[in-house]
Amino acid sequence: MHKSPVSLGLTSAAALGLSLTFPGFAEADFLEDSKAELELRNFYFNSDYRQDGASQSKRDEWAQGLILNYESGFTEGTVGFGVDAIGLFGLKLESGPQRRNSGLLPVGDEKAPDDYGRAGVTAKARFSKSVLRVGTLLPKLPTVLPNDGRLLPQTFRGAQVTSKDITDMTLNVGRLTRNTERNDSGHEDIEADGKGIKGGRPSDKFDFASASYNWTKGLTTSYNYGGLESNYKQHIVTLLHSFALGESQSIKSDLRYARSLKDGNTNVDNTAVGARFTYNISGHGFGVAYQKMSGETGFPHLAGTDSFLVNYVMISPDFANPEERSWQARYDYDFAAVGLPGLSFMTRYLQGDNFARGNKEGTEWERNTDIAYVFQSGVLKNFELKWRNGTYRSNGGNNIDQNRVIVSYTLPLL
C-alpha cells in the first residue's frame, strides 16, 4: 500500500522512539499494523435559555477541531511493544463574552481564547491476548465514559490492562490519575459530579475493574467496579440481549443496575435501575426506556464524562435527580432500507418527575431530533453532516432550546 509522506513520518518517528527505548526491536509488525487518521470537526453550537431571570440568555459559539490519532502495531516476540499518540487542536471561529461556555472552547477570564490544544502518548505492551496501556487513555466502560460530544474528546492519564485470554470474556483493570475535560488543555485531579453530592474533593486515584462475558451470540452480561478515592464507590451490573424474530426483525433488551456508596466524607447514596427495549424492523427502530433513582443523591460519575444511564441524553444532565423516575420513547430510521445508505434519523421524548424542586415536586421533559448523512464513496467518503435539535423544559429549572451543527471529515493516513 502506498503511504503518504505524513504517514511515513508518523511511523518513522514512532519506530525511532521505540528503538531507542527497546534496542533491537523488530519493526515488521510494528510498522505494518500501524494505523493513523485525521478528523476535521467543524462545530456550531447554539443554546437559548428561555426561563425568566436567566443569568446567560444565550450560548453561541463556532469552532474548528483537528483530531490526529496514531496507533502502532506491536513488535515481534513473546512480549510485543508499541505506542499510540493523539494530537488535539481547537480553533475559535466565532464567540463572544456574553455567548461563551458552550463546551466547545475554554471559558477564559473574559473571553474564549483563540485556540487551544493538547497531545498525549500511550506506551503499550502485549502478552498473549492481554494488553497493558500506560499514558493517555480514553477508556470506554460503564464506570468511565469520556465525553466526545463537542469539539475535542475528553482524555485521562493512567494505566489500563485489557485481557481477552479467556474465551468469550473481556477483563479490564486500571487506575486513572489525571483528567483533561473536552474544552481544556491542562491536566487536573479527578472530581465527582452528580445531583445533590456534597463533601467530595479532587483525587488522583480512580480505580476500576470490569468483567464482561458473552454467553451466546446475543447475550452478554457484565460487572463493573469504579472507585474515586474520597468520593464514591460504584458497582454496575448490565445485561444485553438481542433476539432475532426473522430476517429483518429483532428485539433488543438493555438492563442496567448501579449501586453507588460514599467514600470519605461525602454523602453519596444512590441506586439506579434502568431498562431499555428496542424493536427493529426493516430499518425502523421503536424504543422505550424506564429509569428510577433511589437514595439521598443522584447518580455519581466522573466530572466531564458521560453518564451510564439509559436516559442520559442531549441537554438534561441525565434525568438523575434524587428519587427521580423517568421514561423515554424513541424512534430511529436507517434510510439504507430504501436505498439511501449513510442517511439516518432519530427522534425521542423523555419525561421525569417525583423529585424535589424547592417545596414542590419537580418535573422535566426533553425532546431531541438528529439527522445525519455520511458519504459512502467517492472523494467525499467519510464526510459527515449532522444536525442535532433539542428542547428542554422544567417547572423551575432551565428552559432551553438548542441546536448543534457538526460537519466532520475523517482522512485515513495509514
Interatomic CA distance for residues 94 and 99, integer angstroms: 10
Interatomic CA distance for residues 409 and 386, integer angstroms: 12
The pTM score is 0.91
Q: Which residues pair with 301 in a beta bridge?
A: 193
Structure confidence at residue 27 (pLDDT):
62
Structure confidence at residue 23 (pLDDT):
53
Separation in Å, CA 269 to CA 233, 255, 272:
10, 21, 10
- Please state whether 20 falls in left (phi above 0), alpha (psi between -120 and 50) or beta: alpha
Structure confidence at residue 125 (pLDDT):
97
Interatomic CA distance for residues 186 and 205, integer angstroms: 17
| Mean pLDDT, the chain cut into blocks of 10 residues (414 residues total) | 50 54 59 93 96 87 98 94 97 93 88 94 97 98 97 98 98 98 95 96 98 97 98 98 92 98 96 98 97 97 96 92 98 97 98 94 97 95 97 93 97 92
Q: Give the burial class of 97: count Cβ atoms within 10 A of its Cβ; 0-12 exposed, 13-18 middle, 19 or more buried.
A: exposed
Query: Which of 33, 187, 176, 177 lies closest to 119, judged by CA?
Result: 187
Q: Which runs of E-coded beta strand occur in 50-193?
A: 58-71, 79-94, 115-127, 130-137, 155-163, 169-180, 192-193
Q: Are 315 and 400 in contact (CB under 8 A)?
A: yes
Q: Give the burial class of 137: count Cβ atoms within 10 A of its Cβ; 0-12 exposed, 13-18 middle, 19 or more buried.
A: buried
Which CATH number fits the domain 35-412, given the four candidates 2.40.160.10, 3.40.640.10, 3.30.450.40, 3.40.605.10? Answer: 2.40.160.10
